[in-house]
Structure 1
Amino acid sequence: MSSKADPSFEAVLQELQTLVERLESGTLDLQQAVELFEHASQLADQCQTILDSAELRVTRIAAEAATPLSDATATDQ
């Protein structure tokens, strides 16, 4: 479970989309554009990390659900 300090995927994605819109507007000077691009890259990495974690959790849950109950009981004995 994530802590309250960790932003949600949706929040990070929304911030990333906002930065992309600002970059695409063409109104930024070069320095601002480079700084926003750098921050956007970090946000994209953060989104990917969140997605990777979610995929791992889903894979584990699916694997546990696919394990027959009799097999799980036999290994516990």
Structure 2
Amino acid sequence: MEMDETAIPVDKAMIITSIEYMILNLYNNPDSMFPAICQLIDEHQITGMKDTMTYFYEMLLFRGYEDHAQKFAEKYSIPPLNN
């Protein structure tokens, strides 16, 4: 079976899923979980996946974590959404 060159490797997909889960559960302790999210992104080089990074930013924003979303956008050079 030939692998699609645009496919995301399974290990990276698992990290992305973990980050999504962490964002969904951010309400438990946002001040300690947010740095952990950024650490996972940096360690696994997710920053090159612009659509995924924008998705994470939007998740933070739409779930009501405006301050964390702003920090995320600044750290990873994501243009803010127009309101």
TM-score of the superposed pair, with normalisation by structure 2: 0.34
Q: Which has the higher helix share?
A: 1
The structure, 1 or 2, with the larger RCO (C-alpha pairs under 8 Å, 6+ apart) is 1
Give the number of the structure whose alpha-carbon radius of gyration is greater. 1
